Every structure is written in C-alpha cells, then in structure tokens.
C-alpha cells in the first residue's frame, strides 16, 4: 500500500478489502460486562488472523476490523468469511462482513472502505433481523 494521506492511499490491483464488525458488542458490554465484550473482540480477531494472517488484520475502531488480502480472489475471500461466520456463531460470537475488490475503478483506501462498509452494514442488518435485535442508534 502506498500512503499519501489518510483515505488517499492507493492499493495494489487485486487487493480484497474486508470490513468486519463484531455484532452485539455494546449489548454484551452492557449486559454481561466488558470482559465478555473483550472476549468477543479477541475471538473475532484470532479467527480473522488465523484465516488471513495477523499481519493483514487491523483493528480500526471499537468493534471494527479491516483485513487486506492480496493473494486471493474476492470469491475465495467471501467463501472463507462465510465459513468463519458459521464457526463463530457456534461460539455465540457474530461478525458482519463486507468486501470490495481493488480494480481500475476503485483503487483508493477510502473508496474501498466505503464499498466494503456498505456491504458489511447490509450483513449486520441481516444478523440483527435474524436475532430480533434492535440496531444501535
């Protein structure tokens, strides 16, 4: 990645940009305590790192992670993410994910983040609907 300024970095063609967000973190913190929320974050991070390599996983916010994958097609990344979501659900950990592929039309970090974030938000809303949770305001 070539850094020029925040949001203006250009990524190599073919890079798959992943946004991942831990579902229900605030709920866990409020009802079960921060240790439970920390467990959710650690578990999600460990699974993402095991799947893609810890050098590719970045925590960018309270419950958000970015993963930059340079050696897989977006379809491979999406399939692996579906698998990890299923494994985590079995442990009562839920993550929403979205992907965007770096192509000639979308090359900056900011563009890819926006696309992946929109896809991740749709995934999050499906999860919240499935569990009957109210989205955070």
Higher pLDDT, 2 or 36: 36
Q: Name the least confident of 1-15, 47-61, 83-97.
A: 1-15
pTM: 0.86
End-to-end CA distance of the chain: 34
Rounded CA separation 106/83 (Å): 27
Check whether 4 has a pLDDT greater than 50: no
pLDDT-based confidence at 3, cuts 50/70/90?
A: very low
């Amino acid at each position: 990645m070539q850094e020029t300024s925040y949001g203006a970095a250009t990524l190599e063609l073919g890079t798959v940009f992943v946004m991942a967000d831990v579902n229900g973190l605030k709920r866990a913190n409020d009802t079960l305590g921060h240790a439970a929320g920390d467990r959710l974050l650690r578990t999600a991070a460990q699974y993402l790192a095991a799947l893609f390599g810890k050098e590719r996983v970045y925590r960018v916010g309270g419950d958000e992670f970015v993963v930059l994958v340079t050696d897989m097609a977006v379809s491979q990344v999406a399939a692996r993410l579906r698998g990890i979501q299923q494994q985590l659900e079995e442990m009562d950990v839920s993550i929403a994910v979205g992907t965007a592929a770096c192509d000639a039309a979308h090359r900056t970090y900011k563009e890819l983040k926006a696309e992946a974030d929109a896809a991740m938000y749709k995934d999050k809303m499906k999860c919240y609907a499935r569990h009957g949770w109210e989205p955070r305001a």
